[in-house]
Chain A
Amino acid sequence: MRFLLRRAAFFVLTLWACVTLNFLLPRLMPGNPAIALLAKFHGRLSPVALKAIEIAFGVNTKQNLAAQYIGYLHDLVTGNLGTSLTFFPTPVSVVIRGAILYTLGLVGVTTILAFILGTLIGIVGAWRRGGWLDSILPPVFVITSAIPYFWVGMLLILVFGIQLHWFPYDFAYDPSLSPSLSPSFIGNVIEHSILPAVAILITSIGGWILTMRNTMITTLAEDYVKMARAKGLSGRRIMLDYAARNAILPNLSGFAMSVGFIVSGAVLVEFVFNYNGLGYLLVQALDAEDYPLMQALFLLITVAVLVAILLADIVTAILDPRTRSAG
């Protein structure tokens, strides 16, 4: 319990740090872009929206920093993220709501898939030390993990989209359809997500495989594994219950660091495929200098990553009795 409480405290502190960073960034940067922005939108924005931007970026206010900070936190807690300038006059929160499910589906599913597949391949690779799987995969994945995510996406577009016409490679669904929960629409979304998912999978799976394999090799040399062998337990049981269960812990704690990395790569994958999730939205916001949208997206992506890390911590607590008894 102590372990989870400590992690929860870290979660809250990190969240606070990110929110504060988001508040300070526009104020610290030379030449506050919001001023130019406000001039551009003067007269086109409602006084309320104008006020929200002023609070978010700290311009035209006679308030001191502390009062601004409190106003900013208040807006955040009440869900007022400002008005998007790209999709004017839609509030940022509405714009984001339209994109978040696509990203959660694409990045969430592929991350979990990459973790499970990579861990399994790592287990088998280390178990059959020196076998074909073990000799081919590590060097291959050292190289694939150095390739930009978006370039793998471009390669897939070229081969399976443009040349072979196997899969669609533009947008998250056929633009002629309107989003609904009908099977045909969901099928269409899945079809559109195959290529971007494969791109993320190929580039992110290597890390899981290598970490798992390397820890597993160390674990297999432990005395309790020898003991299990001496007892004549089945190889499968030793591999999964004795070695893998212990070796998976570094992979799980590595999850915390890798999620941020995968999400970063996914931003560019979405951009390459025009996949209308959060990452694509972020790039659009960037092009349009839509700072309210950009900052809300950054905050949201960070929160998503933090939640994923907290979940990984809970799984760690379940798998590792030491974290439970430490309290």
Chain B
Amino acid sequence: MAILTGAALGEPAPGVAQPGGQAHAGQAIARIWRAIRSNKKAFAGAVLLAIFTFLAIFPWAIARDNPQAEIYGRSLGPSAAHWLGTTSYGQDLFAQAVWGTRETLIIAVVSGALSTFLSVIMGLAAGYLGGTWDAVLNFITDVLLVVPTFPLLIIIVAYLPGIGVPGLIAVLVVTGYSYGARQLRAQTLSIRSRDYLEAARVRGERSIYVIMVEIIPSMTSLIVATFLGTAVYNVLAAAGLQFLGLGNPDSVSWGTMLYWAQNNEALQTDQYMWALIPGALIGLLGAAFALLNYAFDEISNPALARVPITRTRHLNPVMRRLSANRAD
């Protein structure tokens, strides 16, 4: 959800301008880890993400049933044998939910990472090279930014029947990189005339060196934020496409579960679990990324950090007025 990060990330984050190489990136990662532990929202997001990662890697440890096997009674309600009941085809819903984590998470993480990579290339190239490069790259990015992506995705995927996970990821990457690219371009523009970059150029370093060693490490936090934001968006977009039956309807993923639930009118036929659980899981995975992202905003922009609740109600009128007029 790109918009969540808008206000804070539009401005150059304070303290990004220090020069430095890998040591800086290492410090940044250490700082991120410390921040995750100290921020409740970030911690909640990280725990959720850890649980989903575990389910994606070891689904058999939790659900022994084959998620595809149509071997049980049809449309059973939740019971001890089938915690979430079964589908109209006699598949175990709990097994589907657990095994479905893998594909959903892979799509989110891989497309998020590749999208971020493309954002970095497009944003930095546009911002750093300037001139005609900037004009052309920025125009492409701007167009993709305002075009309603989901209808575009529908059209593209409609032309590629039977598109698999790699194809789905490729389409998500191409349509979803623009927001991050714009942010990174703005950030590059704001630092490109800084002294340490000037110094590197005077030393005779090549552009690729300046970008890789001087610029990218100073943008670690923005790049991480871009990844998190894109991952949320891609979770939702992929689920939406699978919900419409685009992609492979035989795959095991939460979006595909929703597709079959909708096809069998699960809501109208009292099979609530079938329709509600996959959507709730998609929401939770998206929330995990969004919570991390929101916490990240607070970390990179100290002005947004939570303030303790001021109990002005209990103060007398004079004190209340004073406290309301405090300079901060």
Contact = CB atoms under 8 A, between A and B. Distances in A.
Interface of A: 10, 13-14, 17-18, 25-26, 29-30, 33, 129-131, 135, 138-139, 142-143, 145-148, 150-151, 154-155, 157-158, 162, 206-208, 210-211, 214-215, 217-218, 221, 226, 229, 235, 250, 254, 256-261, 263-265, 267-268, 271-272, 282-283, 286-287, 289, 291, 294-295, 297-298, 301-302, 305-306, 309
6 contacts: A146-B236, A154-B267, A162-B267, A261-B149, A271-B244, A305-B148
B282 A148 contact: yes
B308 interface: yes
Given A29-B160, A305-B148, 5 more contacts: A145-B1, A151-B279, A268-B244, A298-B154, A302-B148
B149 A214 contact: no
B132 to A, nearest CB: 15
Contacts of A258: 3
Nearest to A250: B7
Nearest to A141: B4
B244 A261 contact: no
A302 B153 CA distance: 13
A214 B239 contact: no
Given A142-B287, A142-B294, A257-B2, A151 B154 contact: no
A301 B151 contact: yes
B294 A138 contact: yes
B282 A267 contact: no
B57 interface: no
Q: How large is the interface on B (under 10, 10 to 19, 20 to 34, 35 or more residues)?
A: 35 or more
B40 to A, nearest CB: 9
Interface of B: 1-4, 6-8, 10, 41, 139, 142-143, 145-152, 154-156, 158-160, 179, 232, 235-237, 239-240, 243-246, 258, 262, 267-268, 272, 275-276, 279-280, 282-283, 285-287, 289-291, 294, 297, 301, 303-304, 306-310, 324-325, 327-328
B7 A215 contact: yes
A206 B3 CA distance: 9
B292 to A, nearest CB: 10
A143 B291 contact: yes
B146 A148 contact: no
B146 to A, nearest CB: 6
B240 A250 contact: no
A229 B41 CA distance: 34
A309 B143 CA distance: 12
A158 B145 CA distance: 34
A257 B3 contact: yes
B6 A263 contact: no
Contacts of A221: 303, 328
A283 B262 CA distance: 13
B150 to A, nearest CB: 3
Contacts of B158: 286, 289, 291, 294
Nearest to A169: B267
A33 B161 CA distance: 10
Contacts of A158: 267, 272, 275-276
B308 to A, nearest CB: 7
A263 B244 contact: no
Nearest to B286: A146
Contact of B147 (A18, A139, A150, A210): A18
A130 B159 contact: no
A146 B310 contact: no
A130 B150 contact: no
A129 B309 CA distance: 8
A42 B120 CA distance: 49
B146 A146 contact: no
Contact of A146 (B148, B244, B276, B287): B287
B6 A211 contact: yes
Contact of B146 (A33, A217, A271, A309): A309
A271 to B, nearest CB: 7
Contact of B159 (A33, A154, A210, A301): A33
A142 to B, nearest CB: 5
A308 B150 CA distance: 17
A162 B290 contact: no
Contact of B142 (A14, A150, A162, A218): A14
Contacts of A29: 159-160
Given A157-B267, A218-B303, A250 B151 contact: no
A132 to B, nearest CB: 8
Nearest to A22: B155
Contacts of A145: 1, 3-4, 290
A256 to B, nearest CB: 6
B312 to A, nearest CB: 9
B240 A143 contact: no
A226 B327 contact: yes
A26 B139 CA distance: 23
Contacts of A260: 145-149
Nearest first, the 5 A-B pairs at minimum CB distance are A146-B286, A264-B150, A151-B279, A207-B3, A147-B283
Nearest to A14: B143
A154 B1 contact: no
Contact of A261 (B2, B152, B156, B246): B2
Contact of A263 (B148, B291, B306): B148
Question: Which of B8, B145, B154, B155 neighbours the largest number of chain A CB atoms within 10 Å of its CB?
Answer: B155
A305 B148 CA distance: 7
Given A130-B307, A146-B290, A298-B155, A265 B150 contact: yes
A249 B188 CA distance: 22
A207 B294 CA distance: 11
A256 B3 CA distance: 10
A304 B216 CA distance: 37
